Chains A and B, each alone.
Chain A
Amino acid sequence: MTIVKPGPQASPLSQPFWDGCRERRLRLQYCPDSGQWVFYPRALDPRSWSTHLEWRDASGRGTVASFIVVHKPGHPAFQEDTPYVVALIDLEEGPRILSNVVGCAPEQVRIGQAVRVHWVEQGGEVLPKFVPEEFAHKEKD
């Protein structure tokens, strides 16, 4: 029997992010008061504490800040995917997001690599994963 992967549990505040994913749009909060983008979704901008946050489309481009290759996952549902890459991605707009790098072998991932968002369906949800730009042409959304 396959163990179900734990999916995102949205709150009304974060729902626009996941709705955006379903439309293949990387939507993030933006704070016009500080000029900063905010991720994860919050009730206020953690820098200015302004509550005037709006949702904007991000470019979906970023670079790998660090990454690991998971061999022993913390949740058994991910055992079937091992070895897989979990990475910290610095988005072009500023925020850092944790995700997977897919579309290449784990040994082809490196720090500083340019990546772009790649939408992956997982358990009825659409997750923003990332593919290195150099391999992006091989991937079809």
Chain B
Amino acid sequence: MSHWDCAIAGIAELTPRRRTEGETTLGMIARVSAEAVADAGLEPAAIDGLLVGPQVGETPQHVPATVSEYLGLRPTMSNVVDLGGASGAGMAWRAAAAINAGMCEAVLCVLANTREPTPPRSPNRNPIREFDVPFGASGANAAYAMIAQAHMHHYGTTSEQLATAVAAQRRNAARHPQAIFRDAPITVDDVLNSPWVAEPLRLLEVVMPCAGGAAFVVTSARRARTLGQPPVLLAGAGEKVTHRAISGAPDLLSGPLKPAMARAFQQAGVDAGQMDLLSLYDCYSIMLAVTVEDAGLCPPGQGGPWLAAHDLSAEGDQPLNTHGGQLSFGQADLAGGMSHIIEAVRQLRHQAEGRQIADARHALITGNGATMSEATALVLRRED
């Protein structure tokens, strides 16, 4: 058995041309991908991994989600590989690594580009720009308000339930020296009296952008044991991408975090009820309700009552976002999502001064992107 134990099973290429006229990168990616998957003798639905290049002309961000939506793929591993002329080769071993890690079974690696005589001026010509923005639906607020409206309609979730969780997280933030809203306590009424942004979501249910940064270092467990800190092990991981625009979401009431968390729990050999800390991505209040349901902490539709019924503080029956969550700690762009990892590591090292969860051993971390589109879940474990 070779080191990688993986093969390249299908290939295709488009005939090189000096110029393209009116073609989109997405369209070219679609055509060459279909040929490669057919060459492999696979059905489109068999593709559960996706590696793309950074230069997908119609969209500067959320590239794997945009390509996935266009192709109707729902990969459990996806990424941009940005290594210039080495990108294709770089994709090959990353695909094998992901397969060997048990994250997916068949990875589509695809690169394509257009070459217009007069390149379009706008950097952003993706389907959202063409079919959503002209209707006054720019940005994430609209998408999460759609999710909240559906949740309220189908399940009876209330603004009061969601506001209770927002106020609880603000109390948690008061115990974190670096939280941006550390010294700005709020009540449930403050949340309910804040102005509408995208009804049914109000200002204090929407994350506030700020500046900041975060980083972490991964080594082998063996190496980590020789270093200075208590090792915090990656016990499980899961991922799923389902769409890009909210109109492409397969479900407004449940997201790709559901299968991502299921895989992470399975790899770790634990369930949601064993988590000492829930470090849950909270760009909007409604995301907390959907996530606790998708985690299996309560039945579908009971996320609102569940949030209102539990004590979410470090001493509570279910500590949740003890750093305040991004709603109260701050969302420093993409580093905001990493804040959930940093807080989990602090708690599992037993270094969360002033807000330490007693005997914290397991933490669930969720990451969420675009319009409840891109999901990654981690289970971290303190080594005994």
Contacts and interface: CB of A to CB of B under 8 A. Distances in A.
Interface of A: 5-14, 40, 42-49, 51, 65-75, 78, 81, 83-84, 86, 88, 96-100, 106, 110-111, 122, 125, 127, 129
Contacts of A42: 26-27, 30, 70
B126 to A, nearest CB: 10
B72 A74 contact: no
Contact of A11 (B34, B72, B125, B247): B125
B22 A12 contact: yes
B146 A68 contact: yes
B136 A70 contact: yes
B195 interface: yes
A96 B127 CA distance: 13
Given A43-B30, A74-B142, A86-B136, 12 more contacts: A11-B27, A13-B24, A13-B27, A14-B130, A42-B26, A47-B44, A67-B146, A71-B195, A72-B141, A73-B136, A84-B136, A86-B137
B130 A127 contact: no
B135 interface: yes
Nearest to B149: A66
Contacts of B247: 88, 96-98
A72 B27 contact: no
Interface size bucket, B side?
35 or more
Contact of B133 (A6, A81, A125): A6
A96 to B, nearest CB: 5
Nearest to A72: B197
A4 to B, nearest CB: 11
A99 B136 contact: no
Interface of B: 21-24, 26-28, 30-31, 34, 37, 44, 69-72, 120, 122, 125, 127, 129-139, 141-142, 145-147, 149-150, 153-154, 195-201, 245-248, 252
A83 B198 CA distance: 9
B74 to A, nearest CB: 10
Contact of A7 (B30, B37, B134, B154): B134
User: Which of A75, A86, A125: most chain B CB closer than 10 A?
Assistant: A86
Contacts of A72: 141, 195-198
A22 B149 CA distance: 32
B134 A122 contact: yes
5 contacts: A8-B131, A11-B125, A45-B72, A71-B197, A127-B134
Contacts of B120: 9
A9 to B, nearest CB: 5
Query: What secondary structure prevails in chain A residues at the interface with B?
Result: loop
Contacts of B200: 68
Given A13-B27, A70-B142, A98 B137 contact: yes
B138 A44 contact: no
Contacts of A46: 69-72
Contacts of A10: 130
Contacts of B69: 46
Contact of B135 (A11, A13, A98, A110): A98
A86 B71 CA distance: 26
A44 B246 contact: no
Given A13-B27, A70-B136, A74-B137, A44 B34 contact: yes
A100 B252 CA distance: 18
A49 B131 contact: no
A55 to B, nearest CB: 16
A70 B23 CA distance: 34
A69 B200 CA distance: 7
Contacts of A106: 199
A63 B125 CA distance: 28
User: Which of B120, B130, B154, B246: most chain A CB closer than 10 A?
Assistant: B130
User: Which of A47, A96, A106: most chain B CB closer than 10 A?
Assistant: A96
B145 A111 contact: no
Given A11-B22, A11-B125, A68 B198 contact: yes
Given A66-B146, A66-B150, A86 B135 contact: yes
B134 A74 contact: no
A112 B252 CA distance: 14
A9 B245 contact: no
B153 to A, nearest CB: 5
Nearest to B245: A98
